[in-house]
Amino acid sequence: MSQRPQAVRAALAAKPSAAADPSRGPGGAFTPELAAEFARQQLAENRTLIRVVALVALLLAALRGADQILLGSWTPFQLGVYGVVLSASIVLSAIAWSPWFQRLYLPCAQVLIPVRGSLIAFMVAGVASRGQLESLMLLPLLMVGPFLVFGLRFRTAAITVTLTITVYATAAAIFGLPAPMIVRSCLLLIVVAAACGVVARTLERSARTRFIETHAMAELAQQDALTGVKNRRVFDEHLETFWQRAIKEERGIAILLIDVDHFKAYNDRYGHQAGDRALRRVVEMIQMFVTRPNDLLARYGGEESAVLMYDVDGVAAEKAAAQMRKAVCAMGLEHRDSRLGQIVTISIGVAVVEPSPERRARGALQLADEALYQAKTMGRNRVEVLDPAAHKALETGVFHKGSGLG
């Protein structure tokens, strides 16, 4: 029976701090980047509902206001409050239906919805004081919306309903509503808000669990199981992507193919488990030199790794490769069957090219493989950078037949 990945189990083990506030994720597993991605996904999934509700709220506000204005029952102050409510509804509806929904909705909603809810509660208290008690039926909706409809984070929703209840109770007392009525209505609002909060918490936890699992599975599909770095498929995709980008930006790309010297002999002498541990340590050491955002280290197969460096020249690429080789040697991993100082060493082939529409990324990879072949034939434990004249091979397709990537 399959088991959840360790990362997923760790993420799910921690309790969420708030139903719709993923930014304080489980035990640090839910990073700010994941929280932002989760928020974008949730917002995208709820966009249709938010659009419809925003439009309905705007229409109701407009109709209710028109009715009261025609009746002449509002004071200038109440008209001013209504103007703010209507303006907030117009802005929220416009954003919900705009191309900038993902970028603008949450920042605006976190301000406008609490303000609008509080002002509506104030107006309801004023209308109810004149005997129109049916207006009180609007108050429970002000509890439901922030938690379940408007896409707010849990903390913002809780602040919104708390502010709404407080404003209503204060306004109702000022307008002279009977104290028992105020108490009963506030208790009802608290119960409704609590129920909505529990539902929102449950729904968000379920959504976040699915998101973490999906994200973790996607990550695992891109990782090499032994070393934890990216796998060959991801490297090939990354190379193609940045090849096209380099063409547009006229940048250079370096490909480093790295092979552990006499690794078969290491496995034969120390066993495959020891070989796996040695390979992990070598990859971890190489990873220390692959730190720029657009660079990538991947296990390319067996004891072979590949590094893609973007926007570099031959000098920088060769320097990085030399540092990797020296660092691996400095680890001093015992390898008694190696003729290279009886320690684990690596050979590195480097190809630095300037991508163009006439050239293929696959050809650049083959050039790096040719450079690696030269490093091996010249004694191993060395770095070989393919001579610039050999870049002609990108166009001819002629490569050494002994290479492993024909």
Catalogue all structural domains in the chain, each as residue range(s) with its CATH number: 6-220 (no CATH), 232-396 (3.30.70.270)
- Which has the minimum average pLDDT: 253-257, 289-293, 384-388? 384-388
Predicted confidence at residue 12, as pLDDT, reads 41
Cα 350 from Cα 257, distance rounded (Å): 7
The residues, any chain, with a CB within 8 Å of residue 230's CB and separated by 6 or more, are: 222, 223, 224, 238, 296, 297, 298, 299
- Which has the minimum average pLDDT: 188-192, 211-215, 224-228, 304-308? 211-215
- Closest of 368, 385, 372, 365 to residue 259, by C-alpha: 372
How many beta carbons lie within 10 A of that of residue 111, not counting itself?
Answer: 12
pLDDT per position as a tens digit, 272-319: 999 999 999 999 999 999 999 999 999 998 899 999 999 998 899 999
DSSP assignment of 8-23: HHHHHHSPPSSTT-GG
Predicted confidence at residue 15, as pLDDT, reads 38
387 in Cβ contact with 291 (< 8 Å): no
- On average, the pLDDT of the chain sits at 84
Mean pLDDT across 186-192 = 94
Predicted confidence at residue 338, as pLDDT, reads 86
How many beta carbons lie within 10 A of that of residue 362, not counting itself?
Answer: 15
| Amino acid of residue 383 | V
The residues, any chain, with a CB within 8 Å of residue 141's CB and separated by 6 or more, are: none
Confidence of residue 29 (pLDDT cuts 50, 70, 90): low
151 in Cβ contact with 105 (< 8 Å): yes
Predicted confidence at residue 390, as pLDDT, reads 53
Q: Both tokens of residue 166?
A: 């407080």
Q: Answer yes or no: is pLDDT of 212 > 60.
A: yes
330 by DSSP, 3-state: which? helix
97 by DSSP, 3-state: which? coil
- Which has the minimum average pLDDT: 74-78, 166-170, 367-371? 74-78
Q: Answer yes or no: is pLDDT of 263 > 70.
A: yes
Q: What is the DSSP letter of 223?
A: B
Record the pTM: 0.56
Q: How far apart are the first and last CA of the chain?
A: 39
Q: In terms of residues, how long is the chain?
A: 406
Cα 406 from Cα 391, distance rounded (Å): 16
Phi-psi bin for 137: left (phi > 0), alpha (psi -120 to 50), beta? Answer: alpha
Q: Answer yes or no: is pLDDT of 159 > 60.
A: yes
Q: Tokens 């976040």 sit at which residue?
A: 208
- Closest of 357, 235, 360, 388 to residue 304, by C-alpha: 235
